[in-house]
Structure 1
Amino acid sequence: MAFIRSERVAAFLLLIAAALGLVLANTALGPGLMALQDADLAIPGTPLDLSVGHWISDGLLAVFFFIVAVELKNEFAVGQLDTIGKAVRPAIAALGGVIVPALIYLAVTAGSGYEGGWPIPTATDIAFALGVLAVFGKGIPSRLRIFILALAILDDIVAILIIAVFFTADPNLLFIALAAVGVVAFALLSKLLGSRYRVLVAVLMVAVAVVTWSLTYLSGVHATIAGVALGLVMVRKPAMHLRHRLEPVSNGVILPLFAFSAALVAIPQVSPTELAAPFWGILIALPVGKLIGISLGGWLSSFIGPRDRRPHLTLHGLLAAGALGGVGFTVSLLMNELAFASQPEVADEGTLAVLLGSSISIVVAAIVVSRLAAYYKRLRLLRLEAERRVAGA
């Protein structure tokens, strides 16, 4: 299972699953698969009654967000974001990567009635972006890798906040309060994992996590936020151990299953001019908006702080980061489902736009990152040649 932890493998599985879902949806198997996706799957004796698709996007995806939250906490504690100085530059770039795509989407959809889909192109799929970087970016300096990692992590924070604030419908304060109690109980139990009763504590933590997720779902807050909250409050060291155990499940099962489910979309038999405004807004905003926003934000951030402490990030490096940021996939697909939950035809077009926009970003990122890696390889070879000449002299 260790190979599934690889960023390259995770990106490959996600891409294959999404492509398979889209292809099968447009064959004779499509109607049956979509009917299965929409089938109700209730838990007897509880108010939980979700479709198979929502069990995947609301239930299983909460595990992915738990892993993301654990990574965020670790980065803020001992990682690349443990000081304000380290966080401010990628934070400005991440902010640019949210604002510019949102503005482009709003400009394209102005007056259409679909302006509420603006969050869709603001997200970056951290696993996929890092996978593309791992495949094509061998030899890229660590400072650029660190910048892209921090950028992607901060982008996830923004996505989590957007989901929590803009996709919460008629919140039930009682259930929210009870879910908060569950989060506190989970945090306290995690402190006992080092005791002799750790097996019992682990069982209790699983039970508390399930109850907390259920209460969050019933409260009207998107259920994946429960995964975020639990990941943030769990004691860091056991949380990192659990993240390590869950990562193969997330990369090998949860994310591909979600990508497959989200991509089960029948391609509309219409001319391009008949496609709804959100399709064009997402298709343009993801690859173009992210590229411009992140590059511009990264350039502006280069003027912050003492000159001798500023990271040397070239325009080519910033363009690579911007292109990678346009790979929306998982979180963009989730936001698309949430934004157009009551408009399935528009949601289907939005899914196609996310897949196409992300694919364009993958191609652009592969080209830019490959050229950047080749440039640094040439520099290393020239440096080695110069050192040999000096040694020979």
Structure 2
Amino acid sequence: MELTNRVKISFNRYTSSRFGTGEGNGCKSKKTNIGLTQQPLSNTFNKFFDSEKSSGVLLVICTAISLVIANSSISADYLDLWQRHIGCLSLEHWINDALMSVFFLLIGLELERELYSGELSNFKNALLPIFAGFGGMVVPALTHFSLNSGTPAQAGIGIPTATDIVFALGVLAILGNRIPASLKVFVVAFAVIDDLGAIIIIAAFYTAHLSIWYFAGALAVWVLLVALNRLCVMSLAPYVLGGSLMWFFMFKSGVHATLAGVMLAFAIPYSAEDDDKASPSHKLEHFLHKPVAFIILPIFALANTGIFMGADWIHNLTSPNSLGIAVGLLVGKPAGLTLFCFVAVATGISRLPPDLNWRHVFGAGILGGIGFTMSIFITNLAFKADIETINAAKTSILLASLTAGILGFLWLQRYGRP
């Protein structure tokens, strides 16, 4: 108990000093908020939740369009389109390396918000989604590894570890008031943890070569931006410019450039200069949400789901890699998430919210099997130019994600009522 209290105190001190109460970072504001009352924060979450539903529908449409065109008479022209070079990179690489950096920036801002004023801001509350996210990564990864150990396909170990927050929340939005509100918050929290885990996996396992000098340059820019934060520089301009330079250094270093987006998020001030103003972090998150949801992710879907379904596509789904992905997402996710949550609650480390039960947790785990965006992203990194393996993996991801969405909906429709 004493150890738990010490960790809790350390966690609270960290969030206070890092994200800034006014006292923690020397800025004028002395309130631990972003200039918004609790009611507007609730409205903000509701708007975020509603837009995820619309974005999910758009992603499904774009995926369907891409699949149809990729298997039509203009398939070759469509697939060649994404390989056309603009400057030093192909269009597909500009999308996956540059546009998706903005997506990762938004993930970082959402994680920062959760740590500061969301479900992860309270140490006791944070432990349950942390355990959920960890279990939802470890068990799927071990599932894939058990089927592919010692083969080139083991590079795909990170594919079934992530959760697509857009599609998961889209399913919950369709369910409406048939599920408790705290389930939506729980899914957001553990999905953010999953995405953080995916980011760490990308940095640790999918860096082909490392240029120390460029990487040091990226870190130096980040340290400078953090210093601007500590000096209470509230204009977004220097952070955006510095973030662009950091992206360039990260790209040249060999570490995937999208990580610059996450690092930038944690350099931007979360506390507001005055109590009646929104913080730079909140303003940027609000500004980016619709462009990411309705422009960047649909473009990513169009560029990365153009899968040609050859005569042997069903046979390819029985390969160890495809099975590892599918079983990891459909079985490993709900099993790992539920098991780790049960251990956390049974040992007294955490607790279930009053209006949630284990059926809700298991249903959330099923929805966690919707990998899609991040799983496809990791697939591209894991198998590089191996088009056949990439297409088979993407097909497995699409089918597993679709199945997880349907099963999660049916499960929560039956067992999800508060």
- TM over 0.5, shorter chain: yes
Q: TM-score range by the shorter chain?
A: 0.7 to 0.9
RMSD: 2.1
State the partner residue of 1:19.
64
Following the alignment from structure 2 to structure 1, what is the Cα–Cα distance between the partners of residues 64 and 201?
Answer: 27
- Provide the C-alpha distance between the structure 2 equivalents of 1:322 and 1:356, rounded to a whole number of angstroms: 17
Q: Provide Cα deviations, 1:220-256, integer angstroms capped at 9, x if missing partner.
A: 0001100000011110121111110111100010001
Whether 1:210 aligns to 2:253 is no
Aligned letter for 1:164?
A
Paired with 1:172 and 1:306, the residues of 2 have a C-alpha distance of 42
Pairing 1:299–2:342 present: yes
Shift of the 87–304 alpha-carbon distance from structure 1 to 2, 3 Å rule, reads farther
Q: 1:251 aligns with which of 269, 293, 314?
A: 293
Please, which moves more after superposition, 146-155 or 359-368? 146-155
The answer to whether the 8 Å contact 2:128/2:352 transfers is no
Contact 2:239 2:264 survives alignment (8 Å): no
How far, CA to CA, are the matches of 1:80 and 1:66 in structure 2? Answer: 20
Alignment TM-score, normalising by the size of structure 1: 0.86
SS at match of 1:210: helix
Q: Shift of residue 51 of structure 1?
A: 1.1
Equivalent runs, 1:329-368 vs 2, <5 Å? 329-368=372-411
* SS of alignment partner, residue 152 of structure 2: coil
Q: Counterpart in 2 of 1:322?
A: 365
Specify whether residues 39 and 137 from structure 1 end up closer, same or farther in structure 2 by C-alpha distance, changes over 3 A only: same
Cα deviation for residue 270 of structure 1 reads 0.9
What residue number does 1:260 align with?
302
The percentage of counterpart residues that share the same residue type is: 34
Query: What count of residue pairs does the alignment treat as equivalent?
Result: 361
The match for 2:115 among 76, 81, 89 is: 76
Query: In structure 2, what is the Cα distance between the partners aligned to 1:122 and 1:287?
Result: 11
| Unaligned stretches of 5+ residues in structure 2 | 1-46, 271-278
SS in 1 for 2:266: helix
From 185, 207, 216, the equivalent of 1:146 is: 185
Cα gap change, 1:102 to 1:306, in 2 (>3 Å): closer
User: Who is 1:155 aligned against?
Assistant: 194
Distance 1:119 1:213, change over 3 A: same
Distance 1:187 1:260, change over 3 A: same
Counterpart of 1:109? 148
Contact 2:316–2:392, Cα closer than 8 Å, also in 1: no
User: What residue number does 2:136 align with?
Assistant: 97
**1:29 corresponding residue in structure 2:** 74
Amino acid at match of 1:272: I
Deviation at 1:154, TM superposition (A): 1.1
1:286 maps to 2:320: no
2:314 to 257, 267, 272: 272
- The equivalences for 1:170-189 within 5 A come to 170-189=209-228
1:186 & 1:60 partners in 2: Cα distance?
Answer: 21
Which of 161, 168, 187 is the aligned partner of 2:207? 168
Q: 1:305 to 1:18 in 2, by over 3 A?
A: same
Task: Flag the 1:165–1:318 CA change in 2: closer, same or farther, 3 A.
Answer: same
Q: Distance in 2 between matches of 1:75 and 1:357?
A: 28
- Structure 2: distance between partners of 1:285 and 1:325: 11
Query: Which whole-Å deviations, capped at 9, do the CAs of 1:354-379 have from their partners, x for residues lacking one?
Result: 11110011101111122234x43xxx
Q: Secondary structure in 1 aligned to 2:89?
A: strand
State the Cα distance separating 1:5 from its structure 2 match: 6.3
Give the aligned residue type for 2:253.
Answer: S
User: Residues 321, 79 of structure 1: CA spacing in aligned structure 2 closer, same or farther, 3 A cutoff?
Assistant: same
Q: Is the 8 A contact 2:178 2:413 kept in 1?
A: no
State the partner residue of 1:55: 94
State whether residues 209 and 254 of structure 2, in contact with CA within 8 Å, keep that contact through their aligned partners in structure 1. Answer: yes
Aligned to 1:238: 280
Q: CA deviation at 1:273?
A: 3.5
Distance 1:5 1:163 in 2: 30
User: Is the 8 Å Cα contact of residues 4 and 251 (structure 1) preserved in structure 2?
Assistant: no
Q: Residues 182 and 306 of structure 1: is their aligned pair in 2 closer, same or farther, counting only changes over 3 Å? A: closer
2:210 is paired with a residue whose SS is coil
1:127 Cα shift? Answer: 1.9
